[in-house]
A and B are shown apart, each in its own frame.
Chain A
Amino acid sequence: MKFSQTPLDQKNRRNEKLFRMLFMMMAVLLVLPVLAVLSVLIYKGGPALSWDFFITNPTQGMTAGGIWPALVGTMWLVAVALSVSVPLGVSAAIYLSEYAKDNWLTRVINLAIINLAGVPSIVHALFGLGAFVLFFGLGKSILAASLTLAVMTLPEIIVTSREAMQAVPRPFREASWSLGATRWQTIRHIVLPNSGSGILTGIILGVSRTVGETAPIMFTGAAFFLPYMPETVWDQTMAMSLHLFVVATQVPDAPEALPFGVALSLIAMVLTLNTLSIIFRTRLRRKKKW
C-alpha cells in the first residue's frame, strides 16, 4: 500500500495526541485556583454576608458590624484615581499612537512607561508619601492616595489604549487625511470611535488593580478605622483592601468569618466592576464599522 501508516507516522500521531492533552490540561488547570479561591471564600465568608454587613459600620473594636465605610472609601479612591489617570493616560496614548515620530523623545517616553509598570507597589507608596503627602502638602488624604494609585495604573491605561488605537487599520487614517481632515479630526471621528472598546479594557484593568492595591494607600490616605465618613477629597478614608488586612492580621479576636466576608466582598466588587465594563465594552464593540 502506498498510503499505509509508517512507524514514523505512528510516532508523530502519538506525539500529536500527547501534546494536545498536555496543553489542554494546563489550560484546565488554570481554572482550578480560581475555583478554589472562590469556593473557600464563599464557604468561609458566605455566612458573614448579609445586607446589614454592607451598610453598617464596624463595631466592637472591628470584631463585629459591617464594611460600609470601607466600601464607600474604596469607591472614592477609585473614582478620584480614574478621573486623573484616564484623561492623562488616554491623552498620552493618543500622542504616542497618532502624533509621535520614532525619535529619542518617543523612545524615552516608552522606556519610562515600561519602567513605571515595573515599579513595585510599595515603592509607589513611598513615592506617594514623599511627593503628594509631604512635598505637595496634600497630607494623608483621599486625594494623595488616589494620585498615588493613578500614577500606578497609568502604564496599563497608556499601553492598552495605545494598542487599541494602533489596531485601527492605517488605510482608514490615510483615507481621512486625504479628504483634508487634520490629525485631530481623524482621531476624533475615526480612531477613537473604533478603539473605544480596547481603551475601556485598559481602564477595567486599571480599576481592578486600584480596588485591590493596599500598600500605596496605606501611607497616603487610608486609615485603619475612622469614626466618620469621608466628605471631601481632603479627608482620610477607610478602604476595602486595607480593611481586609486589618481584620485579618491586626484584630486578634475577630471571628474567622469576618476577614473572609470582607475578602469575598472585595472580590465581588472587582467582579461586578469587570462585568459592568464588559457589558459596556461589548456594546461599544458592536459599533465598530469594519
Chain B
Amino acid sequence: MVDATTDSLAIRVRDLSLWYGDFQALFNIDLDVKKGIVTSLIGPSGCGKSTFLRSVNRITERLGYVRTEGQIKVLGENILADDVELIQVRKKIGMVFQRPNPLPLTVRENVLFAWRLVHGKGTKEQTDEIVEQSLQQVLLWDRIKDRLGDVATSLALEEQQKLCIARLLPVQPEVLLMDEPCSALDPAATAAVEELIWKLREQYTIMIVTHNMAQARRASDECVFMLMGKIIEHRPTDEMFLAPEHQETADYIEGRYG
C-alpha cells in the first residue's frame, strides 16, 4: 500500500461495500488517492472498477436498487453522509463517461451548462471568458473557437470528449473521474486525450478507469488493480508494471486473462 498523510489525500475510502440488489459488487474497499496525480483503476471486466469509480460521485444510486456501506471521504468529508447535497457532490467531483456525451446544445451552451445551473445566465463578457478559458484548458480553443454556435454532437469524437471534460471545469471541480474515456476513440484521438489528462493532473485529482494496460502505464502515476470487487494491489504505476507484488496482478498485466 502507498503511504500518505491525510491532508495530501483527495479521496479516502474506508470499508466500502456495494450491492446491486442481492449481488455484492464491492467488498470492503480501502483506498487512499493522493491529490494532484492520476490514479488508474485496472482489472478484468466485471471486477467492480467502474462501479467503484461511479460510487465516488454517487451516480450509482440513481439505479434505485443499489445499497452502499462504508465511507468515501472526498477532501475530508464523507460524501455518503446524510446531510450531503448530491448536487454539490456532482459539482466538486466531475465525471467523464465512456462514450462522449455532449448535451444536445451548442458547444458554448455545453461549456456553460453546469456553470449556469449555479450562477444563472451571466453576462456576455463573463460567459465569453469562461468558454474561452475552459476550452483553452482542454486544448480545444484554437480548433473550435469559430464553431462555438455549432451543435456539440456535430464535433469529431475526440473534440466531443474534450468538450465533455471542458464543461466540468467552470464550476471548479476538485476531482475528475473518467470511466474509460478513450475507449470510443481512435489511437490518435486517444493520444490527444491522454496528453490532456496528463496536463490537467497539476490542477485536478484524476481517477481513470481503463482497460488498456499501455494507457494505464503511460498516463498514470499510481495504479490500482482490482479483482472480483476487491483491491488486490495499489502502487506507483512504474513499480506495479515492473514488479507486481501479487501473482494475480502479474497474470493480468501480462494478459493471461482479461
Interface residues of A (CB under 8 A from B): 101, 168, 171-172, 174-182, 185, 189-190, 193-194, 288-290
Contacts and interface: CB of A to CB of B under 8 A. Distances in A.
B97 A174 contact: yes
Interface in B39-69: 57, 59, 62, 64
B113 A189 contact: yes
Contact of B117 (A172, A175, A179, A288): A179
A179 B90 contact: yes
Contacts of B97: 171, 174-175, 178
B127 interface: no
Interface string B199-220: 0000000000000000000000
Given A171-B99, A289-B104, A101 B117 contact: no
B57 A289 contact: no
A178 B95 contact: yes
Contacts of A194: 104
Most buried by B among A175, A189, A288: A175
Contacts of A179: 90-91, 94, 113-114, 117, 167-168
Contact of B151 (A176, A185, A290): A290
A171 B90 contact: no
A180 B90 contact: yes
A185 B105 contact: no
B90 A175 contact: no
A193 B101 CA distance: 17
A189 B99 CA distance: 21
A180 B87 contact: yes
A193 B105 CA distance: 10
7 contacts: A174-B59, A176-B113, A178-B95, A179-B117, A180-B88, A180-B90, A190-B103
Nearest to B95: A178
B171 to A, nearest CB: 7
For the residues of B in contact with A, the DSSP-based class is mixed
A262 B57 CA distance: 64
Contacts of A175: 97, 101-103, 164
A190 B87 CA distance: 17
Contacts of A101: 64
Given A178-B95, A189-B113, A289-B153, A172 B101 contact: yes
Contacts of A288: 104
Given A177-B59, A180-B87, 8 more contacts: A171-B101, A172-B104, A175-B102, A176-B103, A178-B97, A179-B90, A194-B104, A290-B104
B127 to A, nearest CB: 15
B101 A289 contact: no
Interface in B101-124: 101-106, 113-114, 117-118
B101 A185 contact: no
A289 B152 contact: yes
A13 to B, nearest CB: 43
Interface string B131-153: 00000000000000000000111
Most buried by B among A174, A178, A182: A178
B167 to A, nearest CB: 7
Contacts of B105: 189-190, 289
Nearest to A289: B104
Given A175-B102, A289-B105, A185 B90 contact: no
B87 A182 contact: yes
A288 to B, nearest CB: 7
Nearest to B168: A179
A33 B171 CA distance: 61
